[in-house]
């Protein structure tokens, strides 16, 4: 059984078919990338998994269960975490506090016992702290633990957002353009984190990414979309040399390094 499955999924926004009869199976333990030109439907697929949208047709299952029966606020409880294209962190809180927010889904004590800080609450608080400290160690964030998000460089914020998602201890991690805005060195670091997340933590990763260098470096499989339709699925090399993908990138000889068409690059 696949961890996440799209079965003939279609979503329309008025006359625009953002996702058009897409079927794909993401297997436990793999890094899977969604690529395609702007407007291809990549973010919409993410937003379907996050249950921000209902598809017009088709089924989406997570761990064999119907995801479409769940509300968006229930998705993190299932073990699905995500990062956003525009980083979403609490600016006026420290790195530590932002990571502790990620522990919310594991909180078992009620509000009353939290108010009077019972031994059970103290134990639970200690477990959350330990889990967060492990994430801080894993992502080398020790130097930033007590720093306010608002004062941090962009590249560090991206890693903290990754940490917040990891602090939830997900089974499936959705990364929305993890390399966007990062320098070449930071993108390389991001590739190492993604590899470690897969190999050391055993977490399945589904990412949307334009940087084909990063996609090729970390992905086991890639799905290329254009105008909401599947063009090709396979390894990064297979997808980049697929005639339909080359065609979609408008007369370019394959996909440019940014993952956009050469026409888009020139604009
Ligand atoms: N909330 C919305 N309302 C109306 N149309 C939308 C909405 N969200 C996306 N679309 C349209 O659906 C199509 C797919 O958009 P989507 O954002 O999924 O593409 P994408 O592949 O993520 O593009 P990008 O790489 O630019 O982020 C586009 O034509 C877009 O304009």
User: Model ipTM?
Assistant: 0.96
Domains of the chain, first to last: 1-79+171-210 (3.40.50.300), 89-169 (no CATH)
Q: What is the dihedral of CA 155, 156, 160, 161, to 10 degrees?
A: -20
The predicted pLDDT at position 254 comes to 47
The predicted pLDDT at position 64 comes to 96
- Of all atoms in ligand 1, which is nearest to the CA of residue 45? 18
Nearest residue (CA) to ligand 1, atom 25: 38
Q: How many CB atoms lie within 10 A of CB 126?
A: 10
The predicted pLDDT at position 253 comes to 46
The predicted pLDDT at position 248 comes to 83
Q: Is the CB of 79 under 6 A from ligand 1?
A: no
Nearest residue (CA) to ligand 1, atom 29: 39
Which of 40, 209, 255, 256 has the most ligand 1 atoms within 8 A of CB, as the residue to mutate? 40
Nearest residue (CA) to ligand 1, atom 24: 38
The predicted pLDDT at position 113 comes to 55
Q: Is the CB of 18 under 6 A from ligand 1?
A: yes
Nearest residue (CA) to ligand 1, atom 31: 39
Q: How many angstroms is it from 16 CA to the middle of ligand 1?
A: 9
The closest of 90, 47, 52 to 73, measured between CA atoms, is: 52
Distance of alpha carbon 253 from alpha carbon 182, whole angstroms: 26
According to DSSP, the residues that pair with 7 across neighbouring strands are: 59
Beta-carbon contacts of residue 65 (< 8 Å; ≥ 6 apart):
none
Distance of alpha carbon 187 from alpha carbon 208, whole angstroms: 14
Q: Is the CB of 166 under 6 A from ligand 1?
A: no
Q: Is the CB of 44 under 6 A from ligand 1?
A: yes
Are 173 and 16 in contact by the 8 Å Cβ rule? The answer is no
Q: How many angstroms is it from 39 CA to the middle of ligand 1?
A: 5
Q: How many CB atoms lie within 10 A of CB 213?
A: 17
Nearest residue (CA) to ligand 1, atom 26: 38
Q: Is the CB of 55 under 6 A from ligand 1?
A: no
**Sheet containing strand 204-208, strands side by side:** 80-82, 172-176, 204-208, 31-35, 221-226, 229-234
Distance of alpha carbon 262 from alpha carbon 103, whole angstroms: 42
Are 49 and 6 in contact by the 8 Å Cβ rule? The answer is no
Q: Is the CB of 52 under 6 A from ligand 1?
A: no
- Please indicate, yes or no, whether the overall pTM of this predicted structure exceeds 0.90: no
Q: Is the CB of 19 under 6 A from ligand 1?
A: no
pLDDT tens, the chain, 267 aa long: 899 999 999 999 999 999 999 999 999 999 999 999 999 999 999 999 999 999 999 999 999 999 999 999 999 999 999 998 777 888 999 999 999 987 776 666 565 656 666 666 677 778 888 889 999 999 999 999 999 999 999 999 999 999 999 999 999 999 999 999 999 999 999 999 999 999 999 999 999 999 999 999 999 999 999 999 999 999 999 999 999 998 887 555 445 555 555 445 554
């Amino acid at each position: 059984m696949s961890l996440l499955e799209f079965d003939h999924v279609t979503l329309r926004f008025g006359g625009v078919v953002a996702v058009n009869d897409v079927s794909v199976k993401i297997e436990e333990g793999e890094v899977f990338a969604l690529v395609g030109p702007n407007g291809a439907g990549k973010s919409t697929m993410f937003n379907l998994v996050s249950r921000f949208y209902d598809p017009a047709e088709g089924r989406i299952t997570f761990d064999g269960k119907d995801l479409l029966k769940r509300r968006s606020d229930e998705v993190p409880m299932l073990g699905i975490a995500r990062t956003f294209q525009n980083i979403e962190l609490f600016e006026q809180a420290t790195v530590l506090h932002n990571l502790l927010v990620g522990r919310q889904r594991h909180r078992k004590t009620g509000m009353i016992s939290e108010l009077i800080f019972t031994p059970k609450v103290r134990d639970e608080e200690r477990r959350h702290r330990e889990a967060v400290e492990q994430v801080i160690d894993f992502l080398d964030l020790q130097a930033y633990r007590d720093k306010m998000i608002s004062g941090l460089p962009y590249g560090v914020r991206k890693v903290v957002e990754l940490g917040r998602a990891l602090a939830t201890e997900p089974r499936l991690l959705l990364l929305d353009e993890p390399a966007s805005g990062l320098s070449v060195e930071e993108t390389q670091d991001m590739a190492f984190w993604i590899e470690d997340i897969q190999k050391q933590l055993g977490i399945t990763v589904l990412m949307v990414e334009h940087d084909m260098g990063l996609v090729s470096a970390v992905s086991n499989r890639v799905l290329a979309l254009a105008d909401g339709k599947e063009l090709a699925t396979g390894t990064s090399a297979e997808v980049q040399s697929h005639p339909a993908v080359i065609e979609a990138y408008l007369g370019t000889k394959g996909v440019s390094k940014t993952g956009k068409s050469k026409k888009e690059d020139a604009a």
